[in-house]
Amino acid sequence: MPERKQAQAAAALLAAKIASAQQRGSDTIYPEALLFVARLGLDLRSHLAWFSSIEQQRDIYHYVLSACARAEAELDDVMAGRRPPRTLVRHAPQELQLRGAYWYAGAEPVLVTAMLYNNDGPLMRFFHPHDVVPCLLTTAGASRYDVERTPLYEAFKRYPETHRVGYDGWCGHLIRDRWSMGGGNEEVVICLESPYMKHAMAEAIKAKTPRPGELPNMLVHVMEGELSYCCYCEYTQEMFRNWLIERHGSLERINQVWGTSYQTINDIRTPHHENWDGNRARWYDFADFNQQRFTNHHVWAKSQVRQVDPVTPVTVGGIYYAFSARQGLLGVDNEAWIDAMCDAAEAEAFGPGTMPTDFLWAVCDGRKPIIDLEYHSDIFNWWPNFLHGYAILAMWWWPGADATDMLDSSVPHSPSIPLTEVEKLVVNALDIQRLSSEIIQFPLARSPFALLYSRGSLLQAPPDTDRTIPYSADLERLYNATTPLDAGRTFITERDLAQGQASRFRVIALPSVTYLAPEAFADLKTFAENGGTLLVLGDSLRADQYARPAQYLAKLGLSVSGSLDDESTTEDTPERQPFGPGEPGWQPRLDTEAYHFDQADPALLVGKARRLTVEPLGDGEVLAHFEGGQPGVMRIQTGRGKVYYVAARLGEESLLALAERLLAEAGVRPIAAVRELDGRQPTDIEARSVEYDGAVLLYVINPRNEPATLRIQTDRPFTGVENLRTLERGQYDPTITVPARDTALFRLSGSPTTD
């Protein structure tokens, strides 16, 4: 095929030009990256059976020709002085020191990028070794692969009490069940409470822990990931009873909270998720206990690690369950783990979006780094996750050329990852390392808009449910809706409220926070009285953490009845419709003339048809009405602040509009924002701006399948703009274009306020 010979010749010519440029002292790492991907196409993909059609072969060779031509052009321009080189000083893991949320080489932050499972070979020219974050299996000291060779197996075979009791679901990597991939066929599902198992684990953990310096690349000792745990053994029963007395003080108080009539403390047994009796207060206490006892296990396991290695940062993770209705049943409390024993926060992205990353960053609060030891999301989401706080990302996966398993997710082999995406992956790794100082400015700039992370609402999920509960669904809806917020968004937890951290925000939103402890409500009310803004959405503020009805809304000056999640209500309408007021087919949900923040901008709010009946108990102001005249949106003055209450479940565009207006009313103005060319706010583009080093940084994330041409909106008199990824620079022009499914990072300069 002539195209192959042309591609081979182009690759050979580029290799020669790179060698020549290197002899002249030029940094050629970016052209090398394109040559590396081109050779991947020539030397590997063109020989794979699933790339054997003529069309697929031509696609490979056309890519090689394009990549080589672009790399040559960059080399020629650099050597001729027409553009600066994209230079990158690479740092070995041994050069890095952890300070707060990031690793540094001297004064410079270094964001770490790696590919599973590569610690040597050609990828090390562009990536860090994967064993910067080795998973060492020290939560229990064994895994499904090696348990038979550890003291755990001997204890498991000898003592029946070391077997887990009453929970037949996935074992959460502790150790091997019927669903485990790899290892033997025998189920070995352990109880963490058994003294025999505890002794065996102590021996095994210390045996698996490397001594300082033994793994020279290691930046974080990952004990394990994707963890979960539940057991109903007799040790658990005794622990639960002791915990209850410590929590409530007496059996009388336990009966009062639970609505029960136990005669002795020994009559109490843990509720079971498969035969739950509907007592929500009792289940809440067990879920809380289960999380705390698993947290205590991690603290103990880390103490065993510290006997061998007293210095290396340690982490464990279960981020998959951070927003799950089953987190209490499964014992996962990421916030408690981070506070109690983690020196880094473990992420493991399985899908698009940055919600788990923002949650981890909020919990760590810049004190600890976020690391992803097995990133499973796509290449596009590398940039969003680093811009939201990642310090280390190790991607699944890049096996050797002779690999035979799981090739559909293998970057070099996969037919679903085109060479253009492989190029984007390698260039991402280089750009993120090169622009580390600029990238970290964005997570370090705290958003003034916080979503309440409510453990009470999550732990009150019925234990026999696998479905999404209203709180987690509305939390995700609000998070996704506010992606384009110029000021960004973050989380605040109930533990944060108890520590007095609400005052750091301008707006706190409650998305169907149905169950909330009285102390947390008091903190939120104080926040509003001191000048903050509360946005109350969905079926929020109905009960305390034990599901006992609470008068929170009345204390805010509201009378509310009905439920947005009443199963008997079948009325529902789409969140959007292509009609405007007065047009055929228009079915108004909210009065568009009544709801506005200023006379020139009557904001249209569109929501689902289910609604609440709300009335002010005092001087509340009705901002919007339903078509029948009932209040739809209310504003209540509370001290120096305000509470906004929305009596319908709004669509995402309306949630965004409402959030923007509340921030504007609170005095939050972005330095620079992006808008469509017609002035509208994009509903899918994410952009944020921060001041840094005498200029303004602006990132723009474009998830569209086509380039996005947008306009920068700012009051600053900028004179210059530089695309930091391409190093293209020129006079300031507010019109920018961001490539399809990509992220741009700009430096805006010339403003008198920043120069």
Taken in order of first residue, the domains within the chain and their CATH numbers are 2-79 (no CATH), 449-665 (3.40.50.880), 672-749 (2.60.40.1180)
Averages of pLDDT over each 10 residues, the chain, 755 residues: 94 98 96 98 96 96 98 97 96 98 98 96 97 98 97 98 95 93 92 98 98 97 96 98 98 98 98 94 98 98 98 94 93 97 94 94 97 96 98 95 88 96 98 98 97 97 83 95 96 98 98 98 98 97 97 96 62 37 40 36 59 89 78 92 92 88 94 96 96 97 98 97 97 98 97 46
562: tokens are 């009905």
DSSP 41-74: HHHTGGGSGGG-SHHHHHHHHHHHHHHHHHHHHH
Sign of CA dihedral 470, 474, 477, 479: negative
644: DSSP letter: E
Strand 188-189, strand 175-176: pairing: antiparallel
Q: What is the pLDDT of residue 436?
A: 98
* CA–CA gap between residue 595 and residue 593 (Å, rounded): 6
Helices (H) and strands (E) in the chain, counts: 20, 30
- The kind and range of the H/E element at 553 are helix 552-555
Amino acid 45: pLDDT? 97
Q: Which residue has the tokens 């102590």?
A: 202
Return left, alpha or beta for 100; rule: phi > 0 is left, psi -120 to 50 is alpha, else beta: left
Query: Using CA atoms, how far apart are residues 110 and 92, in angstroms rounded to an integer?
Result: 10
Tokens of 348: 């493991």
Stated as kind and residue range, the H or E segment containing 154 is helix 151-158
pLDDT at 591: 38
The pLDDT value recorded for residue 596 is 35
Cβ partners under 8 Å of residue 713, min gap 6: 672, 673, 674, 675, 734
Angle at 446 between CA 444 and CA 449, to 5 degrees: 155
333 burial level (CB within 10 Å; 0-12, 13-18, 19+): buried
User: Residue 595: is the preceding peptide bond cis (ω within 30°)?
Assistant: no
Q: What pLDDT, on the 0 to 100 scale, is given for residue 521? A: 98
Residue 277 parent element (H or E):
none
pLDDT score at 751: 57
What pLDDT is recorded for position 149? 97
483: number of Cβ within 10 Å: 22
| Element containing residue 443 per DSSP (H, E) | helix 441-444
Q: Answer for the pair 236, 166: CB distance below 8 angstroms, yes or no.
A: no
Tokens standing for residue 634: 């209310």
CB 203 within 8 A of CB 151: yes
Q: What are phi and psi of 721, to 5 degrees?
A: -140, 140
Handedness of CA 667, 670, 675, 678 (dihedral sign): positive
Q: What does the alpha-carbon distance between residue 201 and residue 137 come to, in Å, rounded to a whole number?
A: 11
Provide the token pair at 719: 């004179």
pLDDT in the model for residue 627: 65
Rounded to an integer, what distance in angstroms lies between the CA atom of residue 619 and that of residue 572?
31
Alpha-carbon dihedral angle through residues 204, 207, 209, 215, given to the nearest 10 degrees: -140
Q: Give, rounded to a whole angstrom, the gap between the first and last alpha carbons of the chain.
A: 57
> Across the beta sheet with 533-537, what order do the strands follow?
490-493, 449-453, 507-511, 533-537, 641-646, 631-638, 621-625
